Amino acid sequence: MNDERVVTEVREALATITRLLAAQVGADLGLAERAPLLHRLGVDRGTIALVCNTTPATVSVRVAESRRGARTRAGRAKVAAEADA
């Protein structure tokens, strides 16, 4: 076996393991919660789309929405903390 073939086989095996694990994480969550969770765990958008039965573009939108929501929540928390002070 040449090294390149071994590397390819290992990459394919790791991709399969990644898909299997991603399918288990947050299976009871909706896409709006699951996509950002898997993304934070380092799963790529294509794999998230595959396990969530959607497209990578939809995953990108959900991740972006989650980020905007987190910034908004952080901003509100900061304003509330300043008001308490």
83 pLDDT band (50/70/90 cuts)? low
Residue 69 has a pLDDT of 82
10-50 residue pLDDT tens? 999 999 999 999 999 999 999 999 999 999 999 999 999 99
77 pLDDT band (50/70/90 cuts)? low
Query: Considering its fold, how many domains does the chain have in total?
Result: 1
For 14, the domain range is: 3-84
Query: In 10 A of CB 59, how many CB atoms?
Result: 25
d(CA 50, CA 47): 5
Report the chain's C-alpha Rg in angstroms.
18
